[in-house]
Amino acid sequence: MPSYQPPLRDMQFLLHEVFEVTQEFQAMPRHAEVDADTINAVLEEAGRFATEVVLPLNASGDEEGCRLDRDTHEVATPGGFKQAYARYVEGGWPALSCDPEYGGQGLPMVLNQCLYEMLNSANQAWAMYPGLSHGAYEALHTYGTEAQKQLYLPKLTSGEWTGTMCLTEAHCGTDLGLLRTRAEPQADGSFKLTGNKIFISAGEHDLAENIVHLVLARLPDAPAGSKGISLFVVPKFLVNEDGSLGARNPIFCGGLEHKMGIHGNATAQLNLDGAVGTLVGEPNKGLAAMFVMMNAARLGVGNQSLGLTEIAFQNALAYAKDRLQMRSLSGTKAKDKPADPIIVHPDVRRMLLTAKAYAEGGRALSTFCCVLIDKELHHPDEKVRKDSAELVALLTPVVKAFLTDNGLAATVLSQQVYGGHGYIREWGMEQFVRDARINMIYEGTNGIQALDLLGRKVLGNQGASLKKFGKLVARLVEEEGVNEKMAEFINPIATLGEQMTKFTTEIGFKGMQNPDEVGAASVDYLRVAGHLVFGYLFARMAQVALRQIAAGNSDPFYLGKLQTARFYFAKLFPETATLMRTARAGSRVLMDSDAALA
């Protein structure tokens, strides 16, 4: 059974030493009081909760799965899930970064991200129950009427109720313009919704007394396509004005999916049969509201793979130190033992260091991004808010796709370290792979993320957002350009930064002639962008580590950080050489293939 050590040291390193968050917070009235002690205490408690309460339910939840009672339409989650959730609510965790106006603790988003990384390491399937609530919370907080906010936000904040996002239908996932669920206006201003949704994560369960579904549907007079979609809030139980629960709303679970992984989470088919809802935001503007939920969810999905990468790495590392097999190629290392531990083998170290670099790069990126979100939300300077929002928008598809592709690679390599034992369920490594696989698919496949990045976020504003990020890279290059010790970390990103500008312009020009050129380059482009971001963040981490070492700090953490950064630049970053070449191969080789794909 896998074990887990919350990566508190690395989180603290990022928060306090690399991003100096308390200094950032001091500029924000909402967070000015948040000091390092508070942060560390929250992280420590969160790590304890994840490890002690949630982790022990991961394998059993996978084995047991969820059960639908077809008579009552109720879903039973795996043993222990309900009790763990009750403790989560009791501990006040759902409220951590919610608005104090609705009972939240008002702590920075970046702390919530750390909490969720640890919950995801411990049990992704379980973490999705509270996790999905955040999307619903965000959408209502941004677009809800005052009455909707008063009715729903306090209960979502406390965690007494959970939320869902009901988008997908059997015939449409990516292409929401095709959706068919109808919403009929009623005399009292409410709507009755009828249709069928599928793939609704945490769509029905027994953890909370009510479920707040955010549902995309069409009004009777709605224009065709994505401009005719509206967003509705549809509670499982109707809510009286005093907040008490009323009648059961006819939004019923018609089936649960049998999936490759995340068995502990109920992936529901939901049938709406005249279910009562109220409109969120303006009619036919549902997609905009949906994107508020979706962007939060996309960052959350990247964070899921970060969590899996970390726990897979930790266990593979422990196994590699323990498992005796063969002798080192360069001479016996453990003379007193019948064989050397497999960590002496260079390729085992390559596998471990790959997972570690992906975990640490991913954590740096998620943290960086969430600090930007805190600024976007609470910085007093409008320009800072706007710039931060722009960078978050740029980085969101990178977090979602790069971290989840890396997450599959890292969990597969960590499983590989175990040899045959990695394929056996009891060791728990294969579950990480199965769970990690969904993260590349849901909340917009990674192919869609790549189109979002290159088509919308980069070329959509003539590279303006990318230039903003480029300036951060340039500033670091300038700062450290004459520091010989930083050269190994600075030179690669300085070069890639320049190549990237040219590369982007090139694709932009080709795309104007033929839009398929954008689609043909997008996936490779996203990975190059991912490495530019990772490279920048590894250079910043190395910068801090080198300064500490120069100052005489002998904590081996800093040397370890340098070693990981060196590995990253030597063995992972060079992937960009191939990616730029294959991206440049253009669309013809893909599109002129009708005979091959006959």
Q: Which of residues 250-309 bind a second copy (CB under 8 A)?
A: 257-261
Between CA 129 and CA 111 the distance in angstroms is: 18
Among 21, 299, 408, 459, binds a second copy (CB under 8 A): 408
Nearest to 18 by CA among 566, 595, 557: 557
3-state DSSP call for residue 273? Answer: strand
Q: Does 515 bind a second copy (CB under 8 A)?
A: yes
Cβ proximity of 149 and 157 under 8 Å: no
Q: Does 80 bind a second copy (CB under 8 A)?
A: no
- Residue 173 burial (CB count, 10 A): 18
Rounded least distance, CB 79 to a second copy, Å: 18
Smaller CB distance to a second copy: residue 464 or 591? 591
Nearest to 208 by CA among 280, 139, 141, 133: 133
First to last CA, the chain: 47
Rounded least distance, CB 499 to a second copy, Å: 14
Residues in region 152-181 near a second copy by CB under 8 A? 168, 171-175, 178
For residue 233, the number of C-alpha atoms closer than 13 Å in the C-beta half-sphere is: 33
Residues in region 442-471 near a second copy by CB under 8 A? 442, 445-447, 450-451, 455
Q: Which residue has the tokens 């982790």?
A: 55
Smaller CB distance to a second copy: residue 276 or 413? 413
Q: Does 353 bind a second copy (CB under 8 A)?
A: yes
Residues in region 96-135 near a second copy by CB under 8 A? none
Residues in region 11-50 near a second copy by CB under 8 A? none
Rounded least distance, CB 76 to a second copy, Å: 20
Cβ proximity of 199 and 442 under 8 Å: yes
Residues in region 186-225 near a second copy by CB under 8 A? 198-199
Residues in region 547-566 near a second copy by CB under 8 A? 556-557, 559-561, 563-564, 566
Rounded least distance, CB 569 to a second copy, Å: 9
Rounded least distance, CB 150 to a second copy, Å: 35
| Token couple for 376 | 């976007």
| Token couple for 265 | 């989470």
Nearest to 161 by CA among 98, 226, 85: 85
Q: Does 592 bind a second copy (CB under 8 A)?
A: yes
Among 7, 422, 470, 497, binds a second copy (CB under 8 A): 422
Smaller CB distance to a second copy: residue 28 or 165? 165
Stretch that binds a second copy, among 1-9, 151-159, 456-464, 519-527 (CB under 8 A): 519-527
Stretch that binds a second copy, among 303-311, 364-372, 395-403, 567-575 (CB under 8 A): 567-575
Among 426, 482, 484, 551, binds a second copy (CB under 8 A): 426
Cβ proximity of 353 and 571 under 8 Å: yes
Q: Characterise 22 by phi-psi region: left (phi > 0), alpha (psi -120 to 50), beta (else).
A: alpha
Residue 407 CB burial class (10 angstroms; 0-12, 13-18, ≥19): buried
Rounded least distance, CB 573 to a second copy, Å: 9
From the list 310, 376, 390, 443, the catalytic residue is 443
Q: Is 443 a catalytic residue?
A: yes
Q: Does 542 bind a second copy (CB under 8 A)?
A: no
Q: How many residues contact a second copy, by CB under 8 A? A: 98
Smaller CB distance to a second copy: residue 349 or 467? 349
Among 398, 518, 532, 533, binds a second copy (CB under 8 A): 518
Between CA 134 and CA 164 the distance in angstroms is: 9
Between CA 317 and CA 65 the distance in angstroms is: 29
Q: Which residues pair with 217 in a beta bridge?
A: 230
Which pairing describes strands 161-166 and 210-217: parallel, antiparallel, or unpaired?
parallel
- Rounded to 10 degrees, the C-alpha dihedral 173/176/180/185 comes to 130
Q: Does 433 bind a second copy (CB under 8 A)?
A: yes
Catalytic residues: 443
